[in-house]
Amino acid sequence: MPSWNPRLETGHPHIDAEHQEFFRRLDALRDAINASGGREQIIDLIVILQKYTIGHFSREEAYMHRVNCPGLTANCAAHRDFARRLDSWLHLLTTGTEPVSLLRDIHHEATTWIESHILGIDCQLRGCRMPDSAPPLPLPPL
C-alpha cells in the first residue's frame, strides 16, 4: 500500500506537510475499515478527508500559480477529477449498503491516486521557486 516516503517530497515544506497529512488521514480510514468500523464512522472519515482535500487543493493551486509552476493546469484538472471521485464515493456510501470490499477498493484507489498524483504532477514544483526578490509566501497553516 502506498505511503509517504522521501521520493514524494516536492521541496516545498508546507506542501510536503499537507501531503503527509493526506497519508495520515488515509491511514485512519484504512484502520477504521480493517477494524470493521461502523458505516457512520467511515463516512465521517471520508467527509473529513473531502474537506481537507478541498482546502489543500485550493492552497496548492494558489501556490503553484505564485511560483509559475508549469504543472498548474494539469494539477487543477486532476484535482477536479479527484474531488468528483470523493463525491461519488460519498454518494455510494450514504445511499447504499456497500460491502467492506468496496470500502477497501475506495481506500486503495484514493491512496494510489494520491501517490501517483504527487509523483506525476506535484513533484513538478521541485524546479519552481519564488523570485529571489520576493519574500517567501508560505501556505496557511494546516
- Render pLDDT for 87-137 as a digit per residue (tens, 0 to 9): 998 888 888 766 667 888 888 999 999 999 999 999 999 988 765 554 455
Instruction: Determine, yes or no, domain membership for 133.
Output: no
Q: What's at 7, amino acid-wise?
A: R
Q: What is the CATH number of the domain that holds 104?
A: 1.20.120.50
Q: Which residue has the cell 501517483?
A: 116
**Is it the case that residue 47 has pLDDT exceeding 80?**
yes
Q: Is residue 140 part of a domain?
A: no
Q: Residue 27 has which C-alpha cell?
A: 491511514
Residue 132 within a domain: no
In a domain, 138, yes or no: no
In a domain, 3, yes or no: no
Confidence of residue 20 (pLDDT cuts 50, 70, 90): very high
Q: What pTM was computed for the model?
A: 0.85
Domain containing 96: what range? Answer: 14-29+40-126
By residue count, the chain amounts to: 142
Q: What is the pLDDT of residue 39?
A: 77
Distance of CA 51 to the CA centre of its chain: 10
- The single-letter DSSP state of residue 141 is P
Number of domains in the chain: 1
- When the pLDDT of each residue in the chain is averaged and rounded to a whole number, the result is 86
Q: Tell whether 53 is covered by a domain.
A: yes
Asked whether residue 95 is assigned to any structural domain, the reply reads yes
- Axis crossing angle, helix 13-34 with helix 100-120, rounded to the nearest 10: 170
Cβ-in-10-Å burial (0-12, 13-18, 19+) of 41 comes to middle
Query: Which of the 8 DSSP states describes residue 123?
Result: G
The dihedral formed by the CA atoms of 83, 31, 109 and 99, expressed in degrees to the nearest 10: -100
- Tell me: pLDDT of 30 over 60: yes
How many Cβ atoms are within 10 Å of 31's Cβ, its own excluded? 12
